[in-house]
Amino acid sequence: MMPDLEEIPRLRKALGLTQTAIARLANVSQSTIVKIEKRQMNPSYDSVKRIMNALQAELKRQEKKALVDQIQSRKVQYVEAKIPLESAVNEMRRWKFSQMPVMHNGHPVGSISDKVINNLILSGRDPKDLARIRVDEVMEPAFPQVDSKAPVELAAGLLRHYDAVLVTAKGEVTGIVTKSDLMKLL
């Protein structure tokens, strides 16, 4: 099945490549790229395959160079470990986050997510009692931490198993990376 030809200019521009550069990488003429992007040509499957392979190879090459510092969200919203669960839920709603780090004295000590909260609600316990439980009584383990100069692929690997990754510099939390932050690479 032939890929959508509209992807070619979108990916090329997202990768910061000129038409000449992608033509060179794909071993096709620049005029072929121009005509495909302007929809003035019905290219062969082989040409489209070479172009898409070149774009994918360039994406992988650029991913290896990208650092966590470039994609992190610098403003880390968190909840304190000692606050009531109801307050944590209000913060999550306020920021529209499905998960948040839990901090105590400026250090990450756990995490709280909508999954944990929903499981508590579905457990049949009285919602009024749940509202008063402290976050540190129900929190999950803290999100893993990586240095701000770590490659994005390290954070991406951790995000296969965790909801978020905290970013640190000189021992201080400076940012957070979630799966949605990976889209900044495109």
pLDDT tens for the chain, 186 residues long, are 566 788 888 888 878 889 999 999 999 999 999 999 998 988 999 999 999 999 888 888 876 678 899 899 999 999 999 999 999 999 999 999 999 999 999 899 999 999 999 999 999 888 889 999 999 999 999 999 999 988 888 898 999 999 999 999 988 999 999 988 888 876
- DSSP class of residue 42? -
Q: Is residue 1 part of a domain?
A: no
One domain for residues 43 and 58: yes
One domain for residues 159 and 127: yes
Where does a domain end: 18, 50, 65?
65
How many separate domains does the chain show? Answer: 2
CATH number of the domain within which 53 lies: 1.10.260.40
One domain for residues 139 and 177: yes
What's the domain range around 104? Answer: 69-185
Q: Is residue 2 part of a domain?
A: no
Task: Give CA 117 to chain center in angstroms.
Answer: 23
Contact of 70 with 94, CB cutoff 8 Å: no
CATH number of the domain within which 111 lies: 3.10.580.10
One domain for residues 57 and 98: no
Task: Return the beta strands (E) in 84-147 as ranges.
Answer: 99-104, 107-113, 145-147
Give me the pLDDT at residue 21, please.
92
One domain for residues 114 and 83: yes
One domain for residues 111 and 56: no
Give me the pLDDT at residue 17, please.
87
Q: What angle do CA 59, 62, 68 make, to 5 degrees?
A: 120
